[in-house]
């Protein structure tokens, strides 16, 4: 069953067009990856789905409903939760309060609660009374992921969760993915790091300059094709 899809999605910042007809599809239970260089439009795609950027209603369909024009709080209440690029923790909230604020708009009982998030990332329990922004980058990313999970989302959007983190920290964070998947969430990961994306996703979409230039199961895509789709033919 298709849980979320975009159809001919376009997005603009004022006069500047950032997306030119993007089609992606997420099946229930699936994890897909969006890869692409800096400026390709990955974050714009995520912000469109999450409702931060508003689009024509039919451009994004979730669980059979046209959600393209809905504001972020309504999209979130329907079960689409985002880990935003750059983590975006609330500086005046403690770690625990950052997690709790994740349930503000959607109080769905499910696998995720303070307790299960702390079991997933034990260091956060120790630091729960510290301001979120006083943590290391990796720990902040754990808070951002936990905060998005607290609402027990059906779709989790992860925008560059490995950005700026050391490889061992990235490995720790990705180690949480299986439990997230088995909790029932379908996942879209956005990465610049191709290797990471290939490991976890069943379908990979490569973006360049606001368009999807290549897509398919990781095993079916050749190195050369990815290189061309990622950097452009001239690279």
Partner 1 sequence: MIWLDTIVQGILLGGLYALFAAGLSLVFGIMRLVNLAHGDLIVMGAYLILTIVSVLGINPFLAALIAMPIMFALGWLLQRVVLNRVLGPDILPPLLVTFGLSIVLQNALLEGFSADSQRIGAGLLETASWNLGPVTVGIMPVLTFASAILVIVGLNQLFYRTSLGRAFRATSDDPVTASLMGIKPAGVFAMATGIAMIVVTIAALYLGMRANFDPTIGPARLIYAFEAVIIGGLGSLWGTLAGGIIIGVAQTLGAAVSPEWQILAGHVAFLVVLLIKPRGLFPRAYD
Ligand X SMILES: Nc1ncnc2c1ncn2[C@@H]1O[C@H](COP(=O)(O)OP(=O)(O)O)[C@@H](O)[C@H]1O
Q: Which residues bind Mg ion (CB under 5 A)?
A: 42-43, 85
| Distance in Å, CB of 36 to partner 1, minimum | 22
13 binding ligand X? (CB under 6 A): yes
Q: Are 45 and 9 in contact (CB under 8 A)?
A: yes
15 binding ligand X? (CB under 6 A): no
Among 33, 35, 36, 194, binds ligand X (CB under 6 A): 36
Which CB atom, from 68 or from 79, has the smaller least distance to ligand X?
68
16 binding ligand X? (CB under 6 A): yes
Please report the DSSP string for 98-143 in residue order: HHHHTTSS----SS-SHHHHHHHSHHHHHTTTSBGGGS-HHHHHHH
Which CB atom, from 86 or from 232, has the smaller least distance to Mg ion?
86
CA distance 205 to 215: 4
Binding site for partner 1 (CB under 8 A): 50-52, 71-73, 76-77, 81-82, 84, 88, 90-93, 97, 100-102, 104-106, 147, 151
| Distance in Å, CB of 146 to partner 1, minimum | 12
CA distance 41 to 17: 10
**How far is residue 121 from each of residues 38, 109, 190, 199, measured CA to CA in Å?**
29, 20, 21, 21
41 binding ligand X? (CB under 6 A): yes
229 binding ligand X? (CB under 6 A): no
Which CB atom, from 81 or from 213, has the smaller least distance to partner 1?
81
Q: Site size for ligand X, by CB under 6 A?
A: 11
Chosen from ligand X, partner 1, Mg ion, none, partner binding at 71 (C-beta under 5 to 8 Å by type): partner 1
Cross-strand partners of 19? 11
Alpha helices in the chain, H assignment, sequence order? 42-50, 72-77, 95-101, 114-120, 122-126, 137-149, 167-174, 177-182, 194-200, 223-231
Among 2, 28, 39, 126, binds ligand X (CB under 6 A): 39
Strands 31-36 and 186-191: parallel
């Amino acid at each position: 069953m298709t849980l979320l899809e975009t159809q001919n999605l376009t997005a603009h910042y004022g006069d500047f067009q950032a997306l030119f007809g993007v089609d992606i599809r997420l099946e229930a239970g699936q994890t897909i990856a969006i890869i692409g260089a800096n400026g390709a439009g990955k974050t714009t795609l995520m912000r469109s789905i999450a409702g931060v950027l508003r689009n024509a209603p039919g451009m994004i369909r979730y669980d059979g409903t046209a959600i393209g024009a809905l504001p972020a709080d309504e999209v979130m209440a329907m079960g689409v939760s985002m880990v935003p690029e750059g983590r975006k923790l609330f500086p005046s909230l403690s770690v625990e309060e950052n997690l709790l604020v994740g349930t503000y708009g959607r109080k769905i009982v499910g696998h995720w609660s303070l307790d299960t998030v702390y079991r997933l990332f034990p260091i956060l329990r120790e630091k729960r009374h510290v301001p979120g922004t006083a943590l290391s980058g990796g720990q902040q990313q754990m808070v951002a992921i936990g905060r998005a999970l607290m609402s027990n989302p059906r779709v989790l959007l992860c925008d560059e969760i490995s950005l700026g983190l050391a490889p061992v920290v990235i490995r720790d964070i990705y180690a949480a993915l299986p439990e997230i998947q088995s909790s029932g969430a379908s996942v879209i990961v956005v990465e610049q790091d191709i290797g990471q994306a290939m490991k976890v996703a069943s379908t990979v979409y490569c973006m360049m300059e606001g368009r999807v230039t290549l897509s398919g199961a990781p095993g079916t895509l050749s190195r050369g094709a990815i290189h061309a789709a990622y950097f452009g033919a001239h690279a």
